[in-house]
């Protein structure tokens, strides 16, 4: 009989490099495969499962909402959407929100919003400056915003209007600004390229530059948001506010959802400018409410900061002790390390065989974005397995 792997290879488009395990169940920070093996999950569905797996508050809210009303379209009002919009705007300090189904879609909407703002307030300016090594998603405008040629090349030509400058380099940003520039779009912590936090003053300086030039600041917090770095938005930890912010991943605890948020004149969509059939439906909004309320009730943002700091210190110690790690980086529970003469893919495999899920973002870089509920005992466990796995390579 064909295995799941063989069946998948036959019918599923080969876009993903998957780990050779079939995951069937999860609870807390653990998942189990179809052979009954347990894994400590430091991937969390790529920074999505903020409450871990099968959290009772989320399961309860989704079960109850599913039995009540799953979807009605945005032709009608629904209560969970308005309640969720109130909570998300209050946590972010942004004026208004629009719910999408993914991060890429939130960024597409952000790009449209900036272009609309340019038409209304900046003589039709439409240019957006983004960073090299950034990642904003796979749809065409988000891909054009993404500063990585490897993702763009097969789909050229890109849609016009994007310029890429080195991250953490204010002079490059200033030099790239022209009359046609309407916005700067950045991740406060670059995620997909291997967890590169913005330098302390960079985002504040970018904010000032945008203010002085009348540019919008768009922060893509799809990966860095939802408490992962210790504050609801990473930008709040840097002491700045964006004009436009995007969220997704952990927003609804694992249900597919994203958000476009904007403040002041930047929130300039009018009826007919944008839409979504499924975005912000009652089911995902009920899941989002349960997710965010659980984060607040359990102070998981503070926990993410302290657990992240502990994890970072343990990784720094392993770096010194093993001599196999060049750099450790992170902010809260967004962590990565660059390896010395070790393939990150090999380390991911060796760790998986020992019951630990990690993710390699590059040939020598491993990323850790665990659930926000991870305990220090679980971090100790992860470190023990990492050490063992590293010693075999
Ligand atoms: N923006 C950032 C910063 C991301 O990390 C990602 C996904 O990794 C995206 C956008 C795209 O999100 P999605 O995969 O939900 O479209």
pLDDT tens per residue, range 199-222: 989 999 999 999 999 999 999 999
pLDDT tens for 327-386 read 999 999 999 999 999 999 999 999 999 999 999 999 999 999 999 999 999 999 999 999
Q: What share of the chain is helix, strand, coil (3-state, %, to 5)?
A: 40, 20, 35
- Residue ranges lining ligand 1, Cβ < 6 Å: 102-104, 107, 135-137, 187, 191-192, 220, 222-223, 248
Q: What is the average pLDDT score of the chain?
A: 98
Collapsing DSSP to helix, strand or coil, 375 comes out as coil
Element (DSSP H or E) covering residue 53: none
Q: How confident is the model at residue 1 (pLDDT cuts 50, 70, 90)?
A: confident
- DSSP result, 297-343: HTTHHHHHHHHHHHHHHHHHHHHHHHS-EEEEEEETTEEEEEESSS-
Ligand 1 pocket mutation pick from 43, 104, 197, 225 by most atoms within 8 angstroms of CB: 104
Residue 119, φ and ψ in degrees, nearest 5:
-65, -40
Overall average pLDDT of the 241-261 stretch: 98
Task: Encode pLDDT of 268-303 as tens digits.
Answer: 999 999 999 999 999 999 999 999 999 999 999 999
Name the residue among 214, 258, 244, 241 with its Cα closest to residue 114: 244
Active-site positions? 135, 220, 249
Tell me whether the omega of the peptide bond preceding residue 321 falls within 30 degrees of 0, making it cis. no
* Rounded mean pLDDT, 225-249: 98
Atom of ligand 1 nearest to the CA of 138: 16
Q: What is the pLDDT of residues 146-184, one digit of tens each?
A: 999 999 999 999 999 999 999 999 999 999 999 999 999
In the 8-state DSSP scheme, what is residue 179?
T
Measured distance CA(212)–CA(173) in Å, rounded: 13
Looking at ligand 1, which residue's alpha carbon is closest to its atom 14?
A: 103
């Amino acid at each position: 009989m064909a295995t799941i792997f063989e069946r998948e290879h036959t019918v599923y488009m080969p876009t993903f490099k998957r780990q050779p395990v079939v995951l069937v169940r999860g609870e807390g920070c653990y998942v189990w495969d179809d052979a009954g093996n347990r894994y400590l999950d430091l991937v969390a569905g790529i920074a999505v499962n903020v409450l871990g797996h099968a959290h009772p508050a989320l399961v309860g809210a989704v079960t109850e909402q599913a039995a009540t009303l799953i979807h009605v379209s945005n032709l009608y009002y629904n209560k969970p959407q308005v309640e969720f919009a109130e909570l998300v705007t209050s946590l972010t300090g942004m004026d208004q929100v629009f719910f999408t189904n993914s991060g890429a879609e939130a960024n597409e909407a952000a790009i449209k919003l900036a272009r609309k703002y340019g038409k209304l307030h900046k003589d039709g300016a439409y240019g957006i400056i983004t960073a090299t090594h950034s990642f904003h998603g796979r749809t065409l405008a988000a891909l054009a915003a993404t500063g990585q040629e490897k993702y763009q090349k097969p789909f050229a030509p890109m849609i016009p209007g994007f310029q890429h400058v080195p991250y953490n380099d204010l002079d490059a940003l200033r030099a790239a600004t022209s009359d046609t520039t309407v916005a700067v779009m950045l991740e406060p912590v670059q995620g997909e390229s291997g967890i590169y936090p913005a330098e302390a003053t960079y985002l504040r300086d970018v904010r000032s530059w945008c203010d002085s030039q009348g540019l919008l600041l768009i922060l893509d917090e799809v990966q860095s948001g939802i408490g992962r770095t210790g504050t609801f938005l990473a930008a709040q930890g840097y002491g700045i506010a964006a004009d436009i912010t995007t969220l997704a991943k952990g927003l609804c605890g694992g249900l597919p959802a994203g958000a476009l948020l904007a403040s002041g004149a930047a929130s300039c969509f009018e009826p007919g400018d944008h839409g979504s059939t499924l975005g912000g439906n009652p089911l995902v909004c009920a899941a989002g409410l349960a997710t965010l309320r659980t984060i607040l009730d359990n102070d998981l943002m503070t926990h993410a900061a302290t657990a992240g700091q502990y994890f970072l210190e343990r990784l720094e110690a392993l770096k010194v002790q093993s001599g196999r790690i060049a750099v450790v980086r992170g902010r809260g529970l967004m962590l990565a390390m660059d390896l010395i003469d070790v393939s990150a893919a090999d380390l991911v495999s060796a760790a998986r065989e020992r019951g630990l899920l990690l993710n390699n973002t590059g040939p020598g870089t491993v990323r850790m974005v665990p659930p926000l509920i991870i305990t220090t005992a679980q971090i100790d466990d992860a470190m023990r397995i990492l050490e063992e796995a590293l010693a075999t390579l």
